[in-house]
Amino acid sequence: MIYALITMFVVLLMEGITWCTHKFVMHGFGWYLHEDHHQPKYQGIFEKNDVFFVVFAVPSIALFYFGTYTEHGYLFFIGLGILCYGLAYFLVHDVLIHQRFKWFKNTNNQYLKGLRKAHKIHHKNLDKQPGECFGMLFVPFKYFKKPKL
């Protein structure tokens, strides 16, 4: 039971870590790698921004290793939490929002609509600053409000 709680806690914690990384690293000194992500069309299958998947995968892999081959088994479940968040990020951000893979092209889900709206607002600025809504899974309620007529 404790390992399931550790994994769930890390998944939730990763949203905050991702928010901070996105705001201060990707829109800061890592802008060179993130910049192509803010361009209107992808030039190919991969973009420089995909390096950040590797950046987050390395600690997860290391935690799997040390959690398996040492007496600190909880490390494995911290790595599992990072992996679960990474998979959710890939599916939500790259598949559903940006539709880099055309798996779920036409969906009418309200949560997804709010998520896309928040992300479009973030991407309306093609430069480094300013930006809005740096999170991924937790979208502020203001993006779900229906416009007043």
Q: What is the per-residue pLDDT across 63-85, written as a single tens digit (0 to 9) for each?
A: 999 999 988 889 999 999 999 99
Which pLDDT score, from 0 to 100, does residue 64 have? 95
Domain ranges, ordered by start, for the chain: 2-144
The type of residue at 28 is G
The percentage of residues in the chain with a pLDDT greater than 70, rounded to a whole number, is 64
pLDDT value at 8 more than 90 = yes
**Is the distance from CB of 133 to CB of 118 less than 8 angstroms?**
yes
H helix or E strand, kind and range, residue 115 = helix 110-123
Residues 6+ apart with CB under 8 A from 39: 126
The pTM of the full predicted model, rounded to 2 decimals, is: 0.74
**Is the distance from CB of 17 to CB of 5 less than 8 angstroms?**
no
Q: List pLDDT tens digits, range 82-117.
A: 999 999 888 877 777 777 776 766 666 666 666 666
Which pLDDT score, from 0 to 100, does residue 145 have? 60
From the number of C-beta atoms within 10 Å of its C-beta (0-12, 13-18, 19+), residue 126 rates as exposed
Which pLDDT score, from 0 to 100, does residue 67 have? 94
**Is the distance from CB of 144 to CB of 114 less than 8 angstroms?**
yes
Residues 6+ apart with CB under 8 A from 103: 95
Which pLDDT score, from 0 to 100, does residue 91 have? 84
pLDDT value at 55 more than 70 = yes
pLDDT band at 22 (very low <50, low <70, confident <90, very high): confident
Which pLDDT score, from 0 to 100, does residue 135 have? 61
pLDDT value at 60 more than 90 = yes
How far is the C-alpha of 89 from the C-alpha of 92, rounded, in Å?
A: 5
Which pLDDT score, from 0 to 100, does residue 96 have? 75
